Structure 1
């Protein structure tokens, strides 16, 4: 049993790593640069030097491999960085929206589990084997 749990945990970690890596790659191949898009607005009145400092502060000037490992290590520590759009820590944004998310997700999960048990029970009845 412990071998099974260990194997499934390893598979779960592998899936999480693959999802993280795929997301990172897809965000990198998108056209445009999020930092430039955010700070090149003429209304902000930032000079090119200030924009370059912002790119440096966000790590956008680092090589991709460094950005990847920096982001991966930060995620493992629970540091999700700052939102460029909101200007707030991502963990604070997640925490502020978690109650509403759970109020929607938990009833849906409970309904799904109840339906799964009902279908599993019904499939064992002689006349409903087609389920």
Structure 2
């Protein structure tokens, strides 16, 4: 009778330990998913900042360009045109890195987008791994 009682207690301890391990694993998986999502949101913010900067600088360079054409021929105009050439090249690189001309809507990352940030965790479901 005692043996049955001990086995029952051992089975209950194992069940509780397994449940606790699943809960810990679930919390770790959720934390990894939150970290991956936060990274994607941060990237979206960077893209929006780049887009805004490119838009703002485009307007400024256009205004300076109008002013430069009103300058008389000479060194001042030549320097302004050289500066505008630099500014245009810089704007082109900014525009290329800003993927869309409009503020993008936050994407819901796919599982494949999240994989590089999750380590051994699956982005699709909680997968139990054994050693």
Q: TM-score scaled by structure 2?
A: 0.34
> Which structure has the greater CA radius of gyration?
2
**1 or 2 for the larger relative contact order (CA 8 Å, sep ≥6)?**
2
